[in-house]
Amino acid sequence: MCGVALAGIMAGTAHQPADAGVDNAETTTVAAGHRPDACVPAIDARLADPSRSALLPEGGDVSPGQAAEYERQLREALRPLRGQEVEPTRVVPVVVHVISASDGRGNVGDWQIRRQIDVLNRAYRGGYAFGDEGADTGFRFRLREINRTVNDGWFRDFNSQRDRIRERLHRGGADTLNLYTTRLDSGLLGYSTFPQDQKSKPKRDGVVISYDTLPGGDRHRFNEGHTATHEVGHWLGLFHTFQNGCDEPGDYVDDTPYEREAASGCPRGRDTCRKAPGEDPITNFMNYSEDACMTHFTRDQGKRMVDHWRAFRSGANEEAEQEGPDPRLAAVAGGGPSVDVRTTVTPDGTVEVRASVE
């Protein structure tokens, strides 16, 4: 992978649409002086306090070079798809992995998970926006499976074991959202992989969020479910609105104003790039603002997510694994809207699986 996305990105100035000038992608997408860090997987994350960047996990925060390399890969992948019809609505199956401690910490309720799915659907259809500030992205989310794992070591220190854990638990192919809830370091709300890295590391693809950020959780100012909203935006290819600061090409989205740095709280009216048009996109889901401040994605962010879906996720299951729920649960899973899979992993590696259909 080239990176992992932590929740939040700065907005930049206007740029070429992803499918424009694609034939010149190799020579136009890498900014002068930036060498793509192609050998380092990137993630993008969300922090409760933007000043605490030391909390970012390894690979966190996308460099200008990594962003340019992702853009080059996107343009290259879109080239053979020109002229193809785009489906109006994309339904994303979601597998939620709840990783908790033996004393019950982190064992979020089914009601919280279902409310989280409701928050995603409302956010991605534009249901939190005021007036014409936001757009319906065309993405919808359907809960397919809940997988519960009780493991004190995993819960206590997920980040240092994240690759091994995800490779063990991951379900589905490129079009399946694997959402992991667990304990993360104080101040780190969540992080996500990017679509460009799915093919090389399919079992590590997905979103990780702190369990207390789900709707009704205990994370003050960040417990309305928008950490997942933000991280899924990365999973669908978006950068932070503050990517590249006030410098071109910003976040590679035309209709999000440039922004020098991540927002904290809800500083409406802030303008950190005065030479560029528009105030900072404080209420955009791809910023670092607190949950109650976030309201929308823009129309061009929606288009960019669709481009990434077409390039890296739509139809990718034809080449990827299609495992679905645990094979031992096939008889139970048939016909039900979702499966509640309860998995206990003991220190010696023994796995106990129990399932029920709702």
Q: So which residues are the catalytic ones?
A: 231
**Structure tokens of 336?**
């039900």
Q: Where are the alpha helices (DSSP H) in 109-214?
A: 110-124, 152-156, 162-169
CB neighbourhood size of 262 (10 A): 23
Residue 171 is classified by DSSP as -
If one counts every other C-beta atom within 10 angstroms of the C-beta of residue 157, the result is 14
d(CA 238, CA 260): 17
CA distance 20 to 79: 10
Q: Residue 333 is encoded by which pair of tokens?
A: 């899973």
Q: Report d(CA 104, CA 216) in Å as an integer.
A: 16
Residue 65, SS3? helix
Angle at 127 between CA 89 and CA 91, to 5 degrees: 25
d(CA 116, CA 121): 9
Quick check: helix, strand or coil at residue 73?
helix
Tokens at 107, concatenated? 């064992």
